[in-house]
Structure 1
């Protein structure tokens, strides 16, 4: 009968000394723990930082947290809206006028003067601006300026307390104003043609301005109210004259297909990391227990209980964790705080560069969770090795081989001695170990191939082919009059190296409702947005009373551009009829999959001049990306495309909208510099194919470094796991191999048998890659297309072939090398040494 001792100090001493005598094992275990902790902490930190910064960027571009606006509200309307309890915040802005300077008119820029309520500035505007210095104005003579406004005024160096003078148009009158600068801030409009000056409430009262006459009520809806709010507001709040609610929901608040797809990829990566980390730590500890099993058997003979032996094994693992986890967390923090800001600056170095913060969301919870997760992984990983060490008897410990071989029925065959069959039997006689090998190799490889698939699918060529076919694009975002005039276009044509300038014009004209062309578009759009037929019917009834609701964006396409579209388009149309104004096009997106069944004519009317024309319509699926986007219109109204000459017959006061410019490659830098300067002076949006390609290449490099780094680490983990398990397999079978050699099997035959084992490992892993792996790769490709609509699913064939070659080399060479190093002594010495 055994009596368990309770010598905790001795157990601690044995645990510590055992650690000191297994330095190589410790290094492997600590590395495994460091890698697991590092990957978990850095992936979560990078992911959460990116999500928060991306949300901030969208909010900054949007300009406010307000969801709804109502122009010129009455006191009664405001009180009613407050009583409905739909909002978290209600503020307002009052337009005070604008700065009246010739330089602003010449450069097609403007500076707006306005007043914000305290709730509007603090709760609705502040989250969308940054770099705030000073305070909001409270005195009539104080003003707070956006940095862009100061730039337009030639006061970029102005400081808080400086005096600023300018002529301002207030309530229709131009007066010279002098203000003291009380604050400065930064805005993030995509079209950088507007600056803002914020004045005090006292200034508004002094100049006879008011919310009801000159302002907008701004409402931030509760998340739970967003779906029902439009219907409730329209029903409960009585509108006056031309008043109407404008809805502008934050695009980051709702889960889109992109968000879901991105989350799916992130979860997949985290699962791969966790499983790979578990396998690595498990293998290292499993090998250590196998190697020391005789030692644990001897401990049992002197009275150590199974529970105490388990404590020794777990104690070693926990001590190794105390060394590995902090190092992993430090490395994760270094990557998060060092690489994340740099990566985000490169990824968003385009138009949104300033709007995208590079802040790292340091949350103690992330690192605490990573530490606990790694610790849990270690505890789970050492359970099985601890159980083996604790439950094995003294006699079994002396002859333990590490293989759990069940006795099978005797088989009489002449094939049993064939080396390739012996190798096959050796692999699967310890099924759990075989599964771990395959999982380790497969997980690391498939992560690498998944990253390669993602990067290959979103390569720069795919983006450029879909979105940036022309060398340069200049856009008058709001189609404002005079921003792009004939003089401006002629200057562009005169730039040396410019070959072609493709032009588009736009106008807002009224469509005549019909059931053949417009009703299917309304039905499709209302269906997509989950709106009911009753809501559509309500809109159509309103439109009968207010014809302006049928005003839509009409885009005029010049002959050069329509010829290029016709040449590159997969679907054809009568180009001559289009040029003559005998055909108009509508993009098929408004109609869904059944667009080819839509036929009919459409009447377009200029309500200012009374001119109207009826045109045959063709619904056209544009794959060229040359058809410009339309300006905002009523829900469901499609954008109409016609020839420029036909549009000018309807409306002589059209505005130039988008210019596509192609030039000679050797003059590209000079053209780029000149067009960028000209666009900036007029507050126009400018895009260059070369700059876009360079930006995208930078982002590709960052993604390759981050994604490739993680996947290569996982591949190394997989290979390390394989090598570790092969070491275990050879070590625990040394006696068996020595006995086989003693009865006539040569070392060459043993090496060949072990090589066959490696071949099977490589072969089965390859089959897994080409079957299950291809399914995973296809899934990643599908998710990638949802994340980026320009992506083209690309199978990483070169990477697959390269990885398979590497796996075969490692799997074929490793077993033989290990056996050679383990059998330097004679057969007799090896058998005695093992016993």
Structure 2
């Protein structure tokens, strides 16, 4: 009968002293724990920060969290809507007028005056603005202004409490009002020509303004009711003749494909990190147990139980964790706070970049979870080594060679078995679990590096510029309803030295005649795509048959230069000459089903105001060039129609100059950039510069390269470190075997060659996994990148793959021989005597 002793203090002392005598091992183990904890915490912190900031950016660009709007609501309608209990919040705004200034008219800018209800401001608008200073106005002579409004008023330096004179146009009457600034804020709407002044309820009452005559009702639907709300509202709420519910289910309320794909990539990389960290920690502890196996065997001879030996091994791991995990969490927090502000906005530019917050989601759960996860990883990693140390007998400990006894087989004496490459193959798989650790470590490190490399190359600045920035400069009147780009403006640009070409697009909103061949397929496709029923479509078609003016379309005119460039990139060519003559119209295939090539027919565009009309032969084209200007607002399912500028001018004399595409001599690009930006800003026009876009992306790409590349390089080093550790262990625990081989005539050169073969096998097998399973993973990362950025293009990392394979081959070939040389400096006789002792 065996009685187990209970010397807890002795076990603790042995654990501590064993740690003190293995300083190098401890350093490697702590580094492994620090790296694992650091990478888990920082990757998840950065990933969650990105998801939250991306959601905030979309709310800012949308301008509100509300997704249903009803104009001129009555008290009865509001009460009925509240009783339906479909909304998280119900707010409203009252249009109080606009600012009347000559400078605003000259620059085609505007400042709207609005009153927001408390719920509208606090719950619906406030999440979409930032840098809020002061408070919402409560007194009749107080205002809160957007910074853009203060800029238009020439009061950019105004402070809270300052008096600002504002000429207000209220219901057509000009009132010169002196307001006190109660607050200001930054807004991020895509429309650059608008500023906003918020007034108090007392101001609205004093000017006899009402919600029913001048207001909009905003609803933020509950997520569970979003799909059913349209039918319920339209069925239960009685609307007046000119009223209708406007639904806008923005991506601000749901995680978009971008966020989901980003999180998928982060999860994949995190799994690689966790597995690589586990392998490294396991390998270091496994090596330590192998090295000290004789010591554990001797402990057994003096009565130490297997349970106590396991406690010693686990106790060492736990103490190392208490050092490594806090250091890893601290490093992860530091890196997160440094990198997140730089990384946010990397995939966006212009207004979107300014709307992208730089906030760090310092959620304690992330770091607590990372700490617990690392601790669990360490404890799981030491389970197998602890089991080996606890179960081995003293006699087995003296003979232990790193392989489990059940796997050790007597060598068969064959002439083939003596060949070095066969001996090396046997040695590689003699300890299968150890071989798997090496293969996984190398594979995971390399694949993570290649995955990051693939992702970064896919979203490179070149891909973005090639897809979206087709011209040196773009100037756009975003709303397309004011002629901000007049002839004087265009002539100023033409007179600039270095301007090579200017391409002009015009816009108008015109009526279409219903066409079963051309328009109906688009309507049916879009209604189905957006979850509307056939009854919804039939209701719209019936309304159109009664009132043809409801069939409005955004009609865009494009010049000869643009249509020629477009036709060069189209897969399905059009008759350019007929288009220029005004006989052909085109529409983007996005509106149509997959068989859009079979769509043939005519479309009639009608200007009911001037009693003009023209019939065009419609060509539906699959435009991937991004050359066609974006369309303006139109009823659901009505495609944007593109015709020649000359044809549009004949239909509508008041067609507005919409977009200018400008290309210049590179020599003068810098000066022209400055001048065009100033001209555009003065008129509240959207301005885009290819050189600025390129510069922005280059900066952000550098940040991504540092962040992603750093993580990948660390994982590669972990893989290589694991390989080196395994080879060191393999050589050290086989010194007895090598000494015996030398004693019976095998030369050191032959042993080195055998070990070199072993390294070669590790490299070749790992390369095989990379070229099969690895390529599949890389391709998957490339496809996910397309969901994160629609300009992404899969780029196979050929150069990186070749370089890494060369590095792995080099390391795997030279490491075993070097380790053997360092470990066998003594003579064969001396080594055999040590073994006997």
CA distance in 1, matches of 2:183, 2:104: 22
What is the CA-CA distance between 1:410 and the residue it aligns to? 6.9
- 8 Å CA contact 2:347, 2:789 repeated in 1: no
CA displacement 1:139-166 (0-9 Å, x = unmatched): 1111111111111111111111111112
CA displacement 1:86-120 (0-9 Å, x = unmatched): 00000100011111010111111111111010111
The equivalent of 1:492 in structure 2 is: 493
What is the CA-CA distance between 1:797 and the residue it aligns to? 0.8
- 8 Å CA contact 2:49, 2:360 repeated in 1: yes
SS at match of 1:93: strand
CA displacement 1:502-533 (0-9 Å, x = unmatched): 00001101111121001111121122223222
For residues 161-560 of structure 1, what are the structure 2 equivalents within 5 Å?
161-344=161-344, 348=348, 350-404=350-404, 406=407, 408=409, 411=412, 413-560=414-561
For residues 588-599 of structure 1, what are the structure 2 equivalents within 5 Å?
588-599=589-600
CA distance in 2, matches of 1:109, 1:582: 36
- 8 Å CA contact 1:129, 1:185 repeated in 2: yes
CA displacement 1:451-476 (0-9 Å, x = unmatched): 11112222221211111111100111
Quickly say closer, same or farther: Cα 1:79–1:699, change in 2 above 3 A: same
- 8 Å CA contact 1:49, 1:361 repeated in 2: yes
CA distance in 1, matches of 2:566, 2:211: 48
Are 2:641 and 1:640 equivalent residues in the alignment? yes
SS at match of 2:354: coil
SS at match of 1:416: helix
SS at match of 2:616: strand
- 8 Å CA contact 1:759, 1:812 repeated in 2: yes
5+ residue gaps, structure 2: none
CA displacement 1:584-616 (0-9 Å, x = unmatched): 111111113211100011111112122122211
CA distance in 2, matches of 1:410, 1:180: 96
- 8 Å CA contact 2:65, 2:252 repeated in 1: no
The equivalent of 2:825 in structure 1 is: 824
CA distance in 1, matches of 2:222, 2:586: 40
Question: Which is further off, 779-788 or 802-811?
Answer: 779-788
Quickly say closer, same or farther: Cα 1:802–1:308, change in 2 above 3 A: same
What is the CA-CA distance between 1:138 and the residue it aligns to? 1.1
Are 2:81 and 1:81 equivalent residues in the alignment? yes
The equivalent of 2:617 in structure 1 is: 616
CA distance in 2, matches of 1:543, 1:266: 49
Quickly say closer, same or farther: Cα 1:256–1:528, change in 2 above 3 A: farther
- 8 Å CA contact 2:276, 2:445 repeated in 1: yes
5+ residue gaps, structure 1: none
CA distance in 1, matches of 2:714, 2:153: 54
SS at match of 1:352: helix
CA displacement 1:172-216 (0-9 Å, x = unmatched): 101110111111111112222111111111111110100000000
Question: Which is further off, 423-432 or 149-158?
Answer: 149-158
CA displacement 1:768-794 (0-9 Å, x = unmatched): 111111111111112222322222211
- 8 Å CA contact 2:511, 2:605 repeated in 1: yes
CA distance in 2, matches of 1:522, 1:654: 26
TM, length-normalised to structure 2 = 0.98
What is the CA-CA distance between 1:346 and the residue it aligns to? 5.8
CA distance in 2, matches of 1:145, 1:457: 42
CA displacement 1:282-332 (0-9 Å, x = unmatched): 000000000011111111111111101000000000000000001001100
CA distance in 2, matches of 1:345, 1:643: 37
What is the CA-CA distance between 1:408 and the residue it aligns to? 4.6
What is the CA-CA distance between 1:348 and the residue it aligns to? 4.8
The equivalent of 1:49 in structure 2 is: 49
CA distance in 2, matches of 1:490, 1:312: 85
Quickly say closer, same or farther: Cα 1:558–1:189, change in 2 above 3 A: same
What is the CA-CA distance between 1:409 and the residue it aligns to? 7.5
CA distance in 1, matches of 2:481, 2:472: 24
- 8 Å CA contact 2:349, 2:693 repeated in 1: no
CA distance in 1, matches of 2:823, 2:102: 88
- 8 Å CA contact 1:347, 1:695 repeated in 2: no
- 8 Å CA contact 1:341, 1:358 repeated in 2: yes
- 8 Å CA contact 1:506, 1:553 repeated in 2: yes
What is the CA-CA distance between 1:133 and the residue it aligns to? 1.5
SS at match of 2:663: strand
CA distance in 2, matches of 1:763, 1:605: 70
CA distance in 2, matches of 1:750, 1:252: 65
What is the CA-CA distance between 1:724 and the residue it aligns to? 0.6
What is the CA-CA distance between 1:819 and the residue it aligns to? 0.6
CA distance in 2, matches of 1:725, 1:204: 78
The equivalent of 1:126 in structure 2 is: 126
Question: Which is further off, 79-88 or 519-528?
Answer: 519-528
CA displacement 1:738-764 (0-9 Å, x = unmatched): 111111111111011000000111111
What is the CA-CA distance between 1:550 and the residue it aligns to? 1.2
SS at match of 1:695: helix
CA distance in 2, matches of 1:624, 1:400: 67
CA RMSD of aligned residues (A): 1.3
- 8 Å CA contact 1:61, 1:189 repeated in 2: yes
SS at match of 1:445: helix
CA displacement 1:8-44 (0-9 Å, x = unmatched): 1111111001000000000000000000000000001
CA distance in 2, matches of 1:780, 1:553: 38
What is the CA-CA distance between 1:380 and the residue it aligns to? 0.3
- 8 Å CA contact 1:404, 1:429 repeated in 2: no
SS at match of 1:137: coil
What is the CA-CA distance between 1:666 and the residue it aligns to? 0.5
CA distance in 1, matches of 2:748, 2:210: 98
CA distance in 2, matches of 1:117, 1:831: 91
CA distance in 2, matches of 1:682, 1:773: 53
Question: Which is further off, 519-528 or 70-79?
Answer: 519-528
What is the CA-CA distance between 1:256 and the residue it aligns to? 3.8
CA distance in 2, matches of 1:353, 1:410: 67
- 8 Å CA contact 2:92, 2:217 repeated in 1: yes
The equivalent of 2:752 in structure 1 is: 751
CA displacement 1:477-524 (0-9 Å, x = unmatched): 100222111111111111110011100001101111121001111121
- 8 Å CA contact 1:570, 1:623 repeated in 2: no
What is the CA-CA distance between 1:623 and the residue it aligns to? 3.0
The equivalent of 1:804 in structure 2 is: 805
CA distance in 2, matches of 1:603, 1:192: 34
CA distance in 2, matches of 1:209, 1:252: 32
Aligned residue-pair number: 835
CA distance in 2, matches of 1:779, 1:108: 48
Question: Which is further off, 244-253 or 169-178?
Answer: 244-253
CA distance in 1, matches of 2:483, 2:526: 33
CA distance in 1, matches of 2:619, 2:828: 87
TM, length-normalised to structure 1 = 0.98
What is the CA-CA distance between 1:397 and the residue it aligns to? 1.0
